[in-house]
């Protein structure tokens, strides 16, 4: 993956995903402590959306690997308003060695990648959240081992960027992915069609009974940043889709519960679920650091420092 963009999990082959996850597990075990493969390299972190986990883990990850991160808020750079996205890309490529963008539109990332001769990493967009899924599957492998073929991953809630990326991981790993969502809130149609064409095991339903027996139960917020005007409509639509301890009792005995955070308690879940014995929510958050360090190493590790 050296020098390549990472805008989608499908920018990886299954073998490359395996390599990144193996590296992430190794890093979590402490086997890379003191190793600085990104010494002398810099990563620009662009944020159109607020962030706790993405900002902290990419910043700390670069530091631990010997590199440097610089955080750029949209108030400072004004993507597409103060300055054309293409011009931002052409400037950054002359100063830094990579760009991570947490943005509103997937198209913004593609425009950055099209005009910058350095790797661009998707830290979140309206369409996909691929870096999150690396941490998610590291967490799932910690529970079930590396061969996940046939494991049931059930995503309940809004058919948003997380749902789309879960479908992509089903393509890459052979998990059986079920998306449980109200009518009208399904995942992206082109993502679903691509999964069907590739022979992935993806089920789309609004039947809450699909949660029963799941190996992994996953949820996300009903109201993402930028959707605040739809809050009341969405709360009504998703009534009954809340993950509670009672719902966790219906998944597999060794099943686990995941949430990418932040949680809107009282909506898609409750504190008693994220603190439940089956919850791996905070392990999952920790793994953002390890999985993204592994990604950074495989994308930037062969680059020669300019200084």
Angle at 184 between CA 180 and CA 185, to 5 degrees: 50
How far, in Å, CA of 234 to CA of 210, rounded? 21
Q: How far is CA 223 from the centre of its chain?
A: 17
What tokens appear for 153 in the block? 């991953």
Does residue 305 have a known ligand-binding role?
Answer: no
Q: Where are the alpha helices (DSSP H) in the chain?
A: 14-28, 53-64, 74-77, 85-92, 106-115, 130-144, 161-173, 189-197, 231-237, 245-248, 271-274, 281-300
Task: Give the residue from 167, 186, 163 showing the smallest Cα distance to 176.
Answer: 167
260 is an active site residue: yes
CA dist., res. 111 & res. 256, Å (int):
37
Q: Quick check: 187 and 164 in contact, CB under 8 A?
A: yes
Q: Is 42 annotated as a binding residue?
A: no
**Phi-psi category of residue 27: left, alpha or beta, with phi > 0 → left and psi -120 to 50 → alpha:** alpha
Is 227 among the catalytic positions? no
Neighbour order of strands in the sheet with 202-205: 202-205, 176-180, 152-156, 216-219, 256-259
CB 278 within 8 A of CB 211: no
**Which listed residue (55, 259, 280, 288) is catalytic?**
288
Q: Which of 115, 129, 280, 290 is catalytic?
A: 129
Task: Catalytic residue, from 132, 138, 284, 292: name it.
Answer: 132
Consult the annotation and say whether 129 binds a ligand: yes
Select which of 126, 176, 242, 260 is catalytic.
260
Q: Is 225 annotated as a binding residue?
A: yes
Q: Is 68 a catalytic residue?
A: no
**How long a stretch of residues is the chain?**
307
Question: Is 62 within any annotated ligand binding site?
Answer: no
Has 5 been annotated as catalytic?
no
90 marked as binding residue: no
Tell whether residue 130 is among the known ligand binding residues: yes
Structure tokens of 80? 């597409």
131 known ligand binder: yes
Q: Which residues, other chains included, contact 181 with Cβ-Cβ below 8 Å and sequence gap of 6+?
A: 156, 157, 158, 159, 163, 187, 204, 206, 241
Residue 107 among the catalytic residues: no
Please tell me whether 41 is known to bind a ligand.
Answer: no
Shortest CA distance to 129 belongs to which of 258, 273, 278? 258
Q: Do the annotations mark residue 161 as ligand-binding?
A: yes
220, 259, 280, 298: which one is catalytic? 220
84 is catalytic: no
- Residues contributing to the annotated binding site: 102, 129-132, 161, 220, 224-225, 260-261, 288
The residues carrying an active-site annotation are 102, 129, 132, 220, 260, 288
- Residues contributing to the annotated binding site for carbamoyl phosphate: 102, 129-132, 260-261, 288
- Residues contributing to the annotated binding site for L-ornithine: 161, 220, 224-225
């Amino acid at each position: 993956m050296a020098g390549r963009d990472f805008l989608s999990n499908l920018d990886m082959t299954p073998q490359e995903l395996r390599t990144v996850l193996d590296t992430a597990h190794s890093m979590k075990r402490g086997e890379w402590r003191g190793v600085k493969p990104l010494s002398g390299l810099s990563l620009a972190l662009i944020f159109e959306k607020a962030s706790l986990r993405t900002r902290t883990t990419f910043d700390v990850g670069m530091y631990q690997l010997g590199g440097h991160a610089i955080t750029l808020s949209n108030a400072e750079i004004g993507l597409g308003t103060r300055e054309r996205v293409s011009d931002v890309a052409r400037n950054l490529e002359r100063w830094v060695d990579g760009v991570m963008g947490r943005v509103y539109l997937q198209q913004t990332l593609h425009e950055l990648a099209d005009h910058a001769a350095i790797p661009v990493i998707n830290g979140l967009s309206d369409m996909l959240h691929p870096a999150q899924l690396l941490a998610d599957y590291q967490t799932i492998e910690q529970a079930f081992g590396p061969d996940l073929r046939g494991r049931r991953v059930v995503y309940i809630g809004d058919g948003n960027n997380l749902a789309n990326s879960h479908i992509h991981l089903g393509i890459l790993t052979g998990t059986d992915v079920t998306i449980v969502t109200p009518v009208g809130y399904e995942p992206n149609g082109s993502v679903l069609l691509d999964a069907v064409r590739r022979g992935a095991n993806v089920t789309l339903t609004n039947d809450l009974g699909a949660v029963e027996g799941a190996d992994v139960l996953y949820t996300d917020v009903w109201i993402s940043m930028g959707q605040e005007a739809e809050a009341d409509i969405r709360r009504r639509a998703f009534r009954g889709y809340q993950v509670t301890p009672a719902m966790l009792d219906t998944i597999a005995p060794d099943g686990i519960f995941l949430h990418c955070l932040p949680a809107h308690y009282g909506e898609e879940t409750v504190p008693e679920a994220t603190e439940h014995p089956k919850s791996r929510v905070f392990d999952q958050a920790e793994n953002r650091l390890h999985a993204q360090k592994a990604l950074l190493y495989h994308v930037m590790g062969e680059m020669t420092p300019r200084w």
